[in-house]
Structure 1
Amino acid sequence: MGNNNDNTIQFDVLKNKKDLTKAILSEVYDSLKEKGYNPINQLVGYIISGDPTYITNYNGARALVRKLERDEILEEVLKSYLNVK
């Protein structure tokens, strides 16, 4: 008894999107690095062209990155770079 579930948990869509984007990009980055690629160059190639073959299939990285929209990736990267919310 005494279940203390009186507090409401708030769901922040923007924070969760940012966290998901960061987690996926980190995993993709690590997979590219492990395979000997320059991860930044490969990710930039993917973001600019939309061609998923810039991303390795290793560890499911290609499928992971395709879960994100390229414009959303770019938005999060720019926000991070410019330190804005």
Structure 2
Amino acid sequence: MENLNNTQYFTVQKEPELQVRDVLEIVFRALSEKGYNPVNQIVGYIMSGDPTYITSHNNARSLIMKVERDELVEEVLRAYIKNNSWE
């Protein structure tokens, strides 16, 4: 029998944290693979907050729900400005 005077330790491995851009890429690909227009679907999700705009394929829906919608808008705007050399 184990000694009840000692404390057992249990550690859980944390999942690697995805960046917002990684989540957007995964969601974009999942929507494309399922035949949806990814831009329309992501805009629908951002505007409404309704997760059913995002497919559950490749866990895309649960991934996008882990990111705040304003963070999604910030990432898209950041990429747009960077790609248009406004900085």
TM-score, normalised to structure 1, is 0.73
| Structure 1, unpaired ranges of 5+ | 1-16
**Segments ≥4 residues shifted beyond 3 Å:** none
Residue 32 of structure 2 aligns with which residue?
33
Q: Whole-Å Cα distance in 2 between the matches of residues 36 and 80 of structure 1?
A: 24
Q: How does 1:1-85 map to 2 (within 5 A)?
A: 20-83=19-82
Tell me, what secondary structure is at the counterpart of 2:19? Answer: helix
State, as a whole percentage, how many aligned pairs show the same letter.
54
- Once the two structures are TM-superposed, the CA of residue 80 in structure 1 deviates from its matched residue by 1.5
The aligned length equals: 68
Task: Please tell me whether Structure 1 or Structure 2 has the larger radius of gyration of its CA atoms.
Answer: 2
Structure 2, unpaired ranges of 5+? 1-16
Q: Which protein is richer in helix relative to its size?
A: 1
